[in-house]
Amino acid sequence: MNENLKRNFIDIEPYVAGEQPKKADFIKLNANENPYPPSPKCKEALESLEYGKLRKYPDASGRILREVLGKYYGFSEDEVFVGNGSDDVLALSFRAFFNSGKKILFPDITYSFYPVWCKLMNIPFETVNVNDKFEINPEMYSDCGGVVIPNPNAPTSLSMGEKEIRKVIENNKDSIVIIDEAYVDFSEYTAIDLVHEYDNLLVTQTMSKSRSLAGMRIGMAFGQKHLISVLSSVRDSFNSYPLDTAAQALAIASVEDDEYFKNTVQKIKNTRDENIEKLKSLGFTVLRSSTNFIFCTHEKYKAKDIMEYLKTKDIYVRYFNKTRIDNYLRITVGTDDEMEMLINALEGLIK
């Protein structure tokens, strides 16, 4: 290649997702996917999709889905936005709302896609250190060009309550606060109702984790009309048909099967809590999880060694080679059987 061409290229280090192993038989606890299938209603929706209908473009704004979501969460359809996973929704939000030229703030230990988007879009940013228990101090978020915080946070699994979230929103009246609620369904507190109260709050959620639809790419945002309208303008300046016909149909079916959704989430929470105790009895220090994953460390065994050992047993967990958390593992909560195999494997190493 002509070396001069390179000067035209963007210099960017992309986000790296949890490995998708090629082998058939393994236990995959490294990407916070749901171990259970989506609702059977989604299967019906997929099977009754009209093949001939695929020749047409999908409904551009996902209007029916937005109506269904609005009804479920108590919003009008113009307070709801949908996109290809919350990654898409978040990326569009960064573009839409972080334009003041001032630095935006997010925690130092958090979703590692945020700095990638900032670099891609030339958004100045600064990270705010979580304390040595990995907790976020809401007082430290002010005087900036915007805030993005996952609640619960990833990969720490810790959640903030209403008081802390209100503090962040109120300390930033003149900029946009995005609360990324990717794991909220496994948690105790959602800020979604605060949307009615604050004109600077955007809450994003996803169907990838709690609704088992990671493969379909469905994310959503809730905010007052003026925010959703800017977000829609950015989408329409980039790719005006974000959610395909199949994704819209399955998303609607998922919301309509509330019982399945609630049962699945409860099963995962039970499995999580039982296995946190088991990990503790194996000598792990485990953070209090409000998510579908467990963030833990072991005094005697290095996290990286445990991760590699588990890989030899065909069990994949997530390890981050990053300061402050490089001796921690993030383990997705699987089925009871998968978790039993994980604990058995760990017993083989530790006892």
d(C-alpha 314, C-alpha 307), whole Å: 10
Closer Cβ to ligand PLP, 275 or 291, answer by number: 291
Selection from 221, 340, 330 nearest residue 284 by Cα: 330
Q: Which residues contact 123 (CB under 8 A, 6 or more apart)?
A: 94, 98, 104, 117, 145
Residue whose pair of structure tokens reads 């093949």 in the numeric block: 51
Q: Which residue is nearest to ligand PLP (CB)?
A: 85
Do 79 and 195 touch, CB atoms closer than 8 A?
yes
Do 250 and 216 touch, CB atoms closer than 8 A?
yes
Q: Select from 30, 34, 86, 264 the one that contacts ligand PLP (CB under 6 A).
A: 86
Closer Cβ to ligand PLP, 214 or 234, answer by number: 214
Closer Cβ to ligand PLP, 109 or 315, answer by number: 109
Q: Under rule CB under 6 A, which residues in 2-21 are in contact with ligand PLP?
A: none
Q: Is 150 in the site for ligand PLP (CB under 6 A)?
A: yes
Using CA atoms in the order 107, 110, 114, 119, what is the torsion angle rounded to 10 degrees? Answer: 70
Q: Is 289 in the site for ligand PLP (CB under 6 A)?
A: no
Q: Select from 214, 234, 343, 350 the one that contacts ligand PLP (CB under 6 A).
A: 214
Closer Cβ to ligand PLP, 113 or 260, answer by number: 113
| C-alpha distances in Å from residue 176, one per residue of 30, 105, 159, 172, 195 | 31, 11, 20, 7, 12
- Binding residues for ligand PLP, how many (CB under 6 A)? 13
Closer Cβ to ligand PLP, 58 or 349, answer by number: 58
- What SS3 class is residue 268? helix
Q: Is 208 in the site for ligand PLP (CB under 6 A)?
A: yes
Q: Is 154 in the site for ligand PLP (CB under 6 A)?
A: yes
Using CA atoms in the order 263, 264, 265, 267, what is the torsion angle rounded to 10 degrees? Answer: 80
Closer Cβ to ligand PLP, 210 or 275, answer by number: 210
Interface stretch with ligand PLP, choices 83-91, 127-135, 191-199, 226-234 (CB under 6 A): 83-91
Residues at the contact surface with ligand PLP, assessed by CB under 6 A: 32, 85-87, 111, 150, 154, 180, 182, 206, 208, 214, 219
